[in-house]
Structure 1
Amino acid sequence: MASTAPDHRIRLPVLRAELLKQTFVHWRFPPDEVQKLLPDGLIVDEWDGAAWVSLTPFLMAGVRPAYVPLAPSLAPFPTTNLRTYVRWPGGRDGVWFLSSEVANPVMLAARVVGAPYHVADLSVTEADDTVSYAGTRRGGGPSYRLVVRPGPPISPTELDIWLCGRWRAYTWRLATVFEIPIRHAPWALSSATLEDLTENLITAAGLPPPGGEPLVHYSEAMGNVRLGPARPAWLQDLVSGA
């Protein structure tokens, strides 16, 4: 279940990283609109009868293989995910990435387990108490511009935890749903005011334009993020006894 702390251990992480200056912009969507974008086996997760889709730009820093002692880290680079919230039939919840834009082509290696990475020209800048993000997928693909004004820290509500307390990602490769475990400290969330947003990532992913005012969060830094090895979700059922 979504929670403030992970519900599993990662004994042998494969990747470590830090997530910096991350904004979350969340919208409600009709569940059937999201379900039709999911592979067989994944079920759209709902809160109060709605599916949710989130645009999450950030800086990724300290990326390094966890299994190589003294391995050098990649220089910080912007990343932007468009994600929704899903559940495996065995009950384990997580996130499904509708698209992922990365400024560092090295990350394309994650396509081997189905991560939907695209190389993009991305930026993250700060000025006058605001944080600005912008990006365009290379080759004339979708683009966005987002400006937020971070506010004071908040005590997470149940909905905040449901949206941000996800400890696995699901991907699709070779007609199989893969599960990737994630661990890090609980998010230190702040409120944020949306100053400007233009984007077509959502419609490019196959969804209608979002309606209504979004819920917006901001987090200055998340360290010691660990990703475990990807393995088929059906195999994880056997391991966990689901």
Structure 2
Amino acid sequence: MVSYGPEQRVYVPELCARWQTQTFLHWAYPPEEVRRLLPDGLVVDTYEGSAWVSLTPFVMADVRPPGFPAALPAFEETNLRTYVRGPDGREGLWFLSIEVSAPVMLAARAIGAPYHLGRLALSRREDVQAYTGTRRGGGPRYRVAVRPGEPIRPTHRDVWLTSRWRCFSRRLGMLWETPVEHEPWPLREAHLVDVEETLVSAAGLPPPAAQPLLHFSEGVHGVRFGLSRPVRATHRGAGGTLADPPRAEGAGHA
């Protein structure tokens, strides 16, 4: 069941960071469109009968990989992700693509993360946050501009779309999961000014059919990624869809 706060402590982090100036754009999709993009072992997680795909541009700061004596310089990152459950039924994220402006992060490809190097930028003009990016080699690109609004008291859907505490990857012919710990997202309203993107179609999905649902956050501190571990297979069939989860007790409270 999706929770507002982290589901586990990460005592031995593989990576520490801070996420800043994060915008969430969420699109609903028919589950079958997302199902065909998932590896064996993962099933589509749905909310109100729909699968969801989210574009999340932000800034990575205070990044400290193992063995680095000091934090890396801050850099822009943009994720295209969808919502899944593993063989044991626990919720997580599957990344369709990860755009970064820092070449050092390409080392994460070794653990199955779909990183792509590109030219990314964040600009602020008056009350508008604008994110732009182009994948190296003239690949997919995007421009997102939003106007952050007032703080919100998260509903169950807000928590479901923003608070996930593990991500999945695939390497060496196996499914892996990585636990994540951080403080709960302080969410705000966001109003769309402009969005143009080709990341969604590059990932193998049809273009979004409607305007996105939006969230904005100034960010979270103390992000800790734990050690990745292989996921045990169960009797649960691969590539299916799990029904909407029951409402979490107390959901809707910040």
Q: TM-score range by the shorter chain?
A: over 0.9
Greater CA deviation, 32-41 or 9-18?
A: 9-18
**Contact 2:93-2:167 at 8 Å conserved across structures:** yes
AA paired with 1:122? L
Higher relative contact order (CA 8 A, sep 6+): 2
Could you say what secondary structure the match of 1:144 adopts? Answer: strand
* Structure 1 runs not aligned, ≥5 long: 236-242
Which residue in 2 is equivalent to 1:9?
9
Q: How does 1:59-208 map to 2 (within 5 A)?
A: 59-65=59-65, 68=67, 71-208=69-206
Q: CA RMSD in A?
A: 1.3
CA distance in structure 2 between the aligned counterparts of 1:73 and 1:183, rounded to whole angstroms: 18
Alpha-carbon shift at residue 91 of structure 1 (Å): 1.3
Identity of aligned residues (%): 55
Superposition deviation, residue 26 in structure 1? 0.2
Q: CA deviation at 1:231?
A: 1.1
Q: By how many angstroms is 1:71 displaced?
A: 2.1
- Structure 1 residue identity aligned to 2:22: Q
Q: Distance in 2 between matches of 1:157 and 1:211?
A: 24
Q: Is the 8 A contact 2:87 2:232 kept in 1?
A: no
Residue 217 of structure 2 corresponds to residue 215 of structure 1? no
CA offset digits 1:98-134 (Å, max 9, x no partner) = 0000000100111111000000100001111010000
Amino acid at match of 2:206: P
Q: Measure, in 1, the Cα distance between the counterparts of 2:48 and 2:73.
A: 41
Partner of 1:240: none
SS in structure 1 at match of 2:88: coil
TM-score by length of 1: 0.94
Question: Unmatched 5+ residue regions in structure 2?
Answer: 234-254
Distance in 1 separating the partners of 2:76 and 2:165:
21
Runs ≥4 residues deviating over 4 A: none
- Note the C-alpha offset of 1:221: 2.0
